[in-house]
Amino acid sequence: MTTDTATARPPLTLLSEDELAFRDAVAGFAAEEVKPRVMQMERAGRIDATLVRQYFDMGLMGIEVPEQYGGAGGSLMMVTLAVEEISKHDAAAAIVVDVQNTLVNYPIARYGSDALKAKYLPRLTSDTIGAYALSEPGSGSDAFGMATRAVKQGGDWVLTGRKMWITNGAEAGIYVVFANTDPAAGYKGITAFVVEREFTGFSVGKKEDKLGIRASSTTELILDGVVVPAENVLGPVGQGYKVAIETLNEGRIGIGAQMIGVSQGALAAATAYVKERQQFGKALAEFQGIQFQLAQARTETEAARLMVYNAARLKDAGHDISMEGAMSKLFSSQVAERVTSISLELFGGYGYTTDYPAEKFYRDAKIGAIYEGTSNMQLNTIAKGMLR
């Protein structure tokens, strides 16, 4: 094995041999298949369908799903490694894998009935993209203030409302959707449902034109009397808030992985550039001021990665990670903003153009402080955990 380089390979003691082999396989795939497609997908504003097919073929869309349902029977740590490696090239390509594993497969495997798991997990691991629908136009950080309603009619539930900012919304065929079945009970009326794209009354609305992760679809969902069979309730009726919280705790590890991948990608590009760029008769890398900026960025990136890995390990061991997940997402997104900003500046005027990758890393980093809970919401979660 080779030792760490400026491309920031994890210290070998952090990973088992199987994890190392898995990481290296994903890293090779990302370099060969994701990297050449990045700018084309960025301009088109969508993920290459061939790439998604390869995700399924490699088992990346069902990493934690038990083998009996077509998954790899792996761990959250493996999800983390996959998202991190893909994000070194393209955060948008990585979020497809992240959402599938942490926000869709996980709650169905964790809270679904045997029938739900048998019906949907084989599809999600083989050919169908999933999406997670919690946010609404009037309920972002206040997620449990949702207006979407679910009313029981005979043996079905009928869902009415709108969902916003749904990642994978345009491509998904299966959605984990939250609605309130008893508004008088407040958040204790919230219930989770598994909804198929073909269900009566369901449609995908506007696709957002975004600052970053442009190849990843972010859409509105319109629920106009969507008829959902009673057996598609995910977890107990009225316990959707627990499903949402537990799922987001796992999902924040995925966002942390995305952000440390973005940081490493940006830093690797900047490091290579300053070795080549000549100013005042020598390479930029020979100036101490440049060296110190790179050293600081590398140190913060490594600290963020250790926090993300630690949270993943704790979750895999069965521990509550509400605080650790929040801290790793908070810090990794802060680091990603700083590192991508420094990296862009090291490219000088070239960094501000689309001819180099720095500006894309910079734009992609910003979403880390927003989705799956803003940085202020992470601080709130951490403070509550400290003071309870």
Collapse the DSSP code of 313 into the 3-class scheme (helix H, G, I; strand E, B; otherwise coil) and give the result.
helix
Distance of CA 55 to the CA centre of its chain: 15
Active site residue 372: yes
- Residue at 30: amino acid letter: A
**Residue 203 forms beta bridges with which residues?**
222
Collapse the DSSP code of 222 into the 3-class scheme (helix H, G, I; strand E, B; otherwise coil) and give the result.
strand
Phi, psi of 173 (to 5 degrees): -115, -15
The residue written with tokens 């990302």 in the block is 30
CA neighbor of 250 nearest in space, from 192, 190, 191, 312: 312
Distance of CA 197 to the CA centre of its chain: 21
**Residue 132 forms beta bridges with which residues?**
176
| 360 within 8 A of 210, measured Cβ to Cβ | no
3-class secondary structure per residue, 92-136: HHHHHHHHHHHHHHHHHHHHCCHHHHHHHHHHHHHCCCEEEECCE
For residue 11, the 8-state DSSP code is P
Q: Which of 33, 42, 220, 372 is catalytic?
A: 372
Which residues have a catalytic role annotated?
372
